[in-house]
Structure 1
């Protein structure tokens, strides 16, 4: 094994372990909240779906890519390659859609009661669960074409145009289909990123207006301690910023993979590294701004003693 392959394997291994520990810790956090009877926020259901999707992304792509980088390249059959890439693509798209939904949901949550979002604030929680389920079903249907172009490395067809992922081959589907797929990915990313940037800008505007109003009422003696809603909004803003940055970088490398005839394994590895960055770091961003994590027991005790 070359030193470069070992280095890349250790990087993938670190990212995979970090992502698995973070996402399972976040799921355990919500399980503990449920068992102790803590009150859930309106965005918690979205975060749980996002965490599940990120777990599937890491397990379906991070683990095989780590094994391939460490020298194990023939562990998937042809059917296995088709299945694992299909699962990865579905979960990755769900992660994108759910992150967008999380940003919009928090925008509705913190919007003033006299704004145009006032009606949605009362009804938004009713539509979150159906939207999450519809998101999974939609991408399960839209990505049925993905397995057609994946094949295992054991099946040695004389493919001249292919992308070597280390453990599977992605066959070139032709100029027109490749261009259509690249355009579809581009417009999908632009649509979701546009919605996230719009909702994030609106959240920043609301927080800034609220802070100015509080300073006007209380003067300069304003507590530096932010409210739970403010901390939740800040976490989602950091989350969206991280997602947009990594998505742009991964999309640039995705275009390179599409344009080049036989891209190198290093280029594929860098693309996978950027694509797997968000599922690995997102749980730590969410937990770092959640006031219920460090003071969980105290918060649950106060909620349980508080009269209804």
Structure 2
């Protein structure tokens, strides 16, 4: 076995295992809060959808790709391939949508308190909830088209009509159909990325103006710690930057794979790893930014050695 092949197997297995455990720790945390009848914040509610999307990504992308990396390439039938591919597409769409809603919601919360934004701030909780449900519905509708493109390979198939992705195959159609399919899948993602960039830019500008106002105030009136809103905003900005970085790599690899007649196994592996990085890193970013989560899993004596970053501060 080549060293590069062993490295790929170890990385994919590690990402799948760590991502699965990290996200289920957060599921346990939020279930505990719900059963204990704690009042959940609006961002907690959106984060739960993001965590569910992360788990689906790990299950329907990480697990089958790990099996394929270890040599099990024909373990799914036609229905299995369609289900695995469809749920991965749905989780990908929900993930980008939830991250977008988090950034937009936080941008609205920290926006200046003027007349134009007052009504939007009051109703933002309701709008965010409706948007998350609508995002799930849209992704389920879009993914029905995916059923025509993905399938398992049978012994009688002509390989010239199939594009191999290790454990499943994509059916080659005419160029017009492929372009329309790519546009259909990409349109919601482009919209969400645009909203994320707008919200992130708005948050950066708001934080910069806030910092300038603080610098003009007398030293005696300035707290040594940043405000809860600032820390929550920086956490969401970090999530957005992490997501956009890995999403860009994954999308670029998928685009290259679509252009190639037969994608190489290296490109398929890199695409899978890029898809798994955010679901793996996300729960640990959230744990490190919210002391209520870290205190849930760490003994009280150990918590003294970990400085609190926020105390249920996300709005």
Q: TM-score, normalised by structure 1?
A: 0.89
Distance 1:155 1:24, change over 3 A: farther
Give the CA deviation at 1:105. Answer: 0.8
1:128-207 equivalence runs, <5 A: 128-207=128-207
| Kept in 2: contact 1:164–1:265 (CA 8 A) | no
Unaligned runs of 5+ in 2: none
Partner of 1:70: 70
- Greater CA drift, 1-10 or 191-200: 1-10
Q: Report SS of the residue matched to 1:164.
A: strand
- Greater CA drift, 15-24 or 38-47: 38-47
Q: Report SS of the residue matched to 1:160.
A: helix
Partner of 1:100: 100
Give the CA deviation at 1:217. Answer: 2.9
Partner of 1:306: none
1:204-215 equivalence runs, <5 A: 204-215=204-215
2:193 and 2:128 mapped to 1: Cα distance? 19
- Residue 29 of structure 2 corresponds to residue 29 of structure 1: yes
Partner of 2:248: 248
Q: Report SS of the residue matched to 2:151.
A: strand
| Kept in 2: contact 1:90–1:143 (CA 8 A) | yes
1:153 and 1:5 mapped to 2: Cα distance? 24
1:31 and 1:281 mapped to 2: Cα distance? 21
Q: Report SS of the residue matched to 1:31.
A: helix
Partner of 1:15: 15
Aligned residue pairs, count: 301
| Kept in 1: contact 2:142–2:185 (CA 8 A) | no
Give the CA deviation at 1:167. Answer: 1.1
| Kept in 2: contact 1:231–1:290 (CA 8 A) | no
1:192 and 1:208 mapped to 2: Cα distance? 24
Q: TM-score, normalised by structure 2?
A: 0.87
- Greater CA drift, 261-270 or 282-291: 282-291
1:84 and 1:105 mapped to 2: Cα distance? 31
Give the CA deviation at 1:99. Answer: 1.1
1:182 and 1:155 mapped to 2: Cα distance? 28
Distance 1:2 1:71, change over 3 A: farther
- Residue 48 of structure 2 corresponds to residue 48 of structure 1: yes
- Greater CA drift, 151-160 or 66-75: 151-160
| Kept in 1: contact 2:142–2:184 (CA 8 A) | no
Distance 1:250 1:151, change over 3 A: same
| Kept in 2: contact 1:112–1:118 (CA 8 A) | no
Distance 1:170 1:100, change over 3 A: same
Give the CA deviation at 1:26. Answer: 1.6
Unaligned runs of 5+ in 1: 304-308
2:170 and 2:154 mapped to 1: Cα distance? 13
- Greater CA drift, 1-10 or 109-118: 1-10
After superposition, the C-alpha distances for 1:208-231 in whole angstroms (9 at most, x for unaligned) are 222222333342773342233222
2:156 and 2:73 mapped to 1: Cα distance? 13
Distance 1:270 1:162, change over 3 A: farther
2:154 and 2:6 mapped to 1: Cα distance? 23
Distance 1:25 1:115, change over 3 A: farther
Partner of 2:87: 87
| Kept in 2: contact 1:163–1:169 (CA 8 A) | yes
1:218 and 1:76 mapped to 2: Cα distance? 67
Distance 1:204 1:115, change over 3 A: farther
Give the CA deviation at 1:269. Answer: 1.1
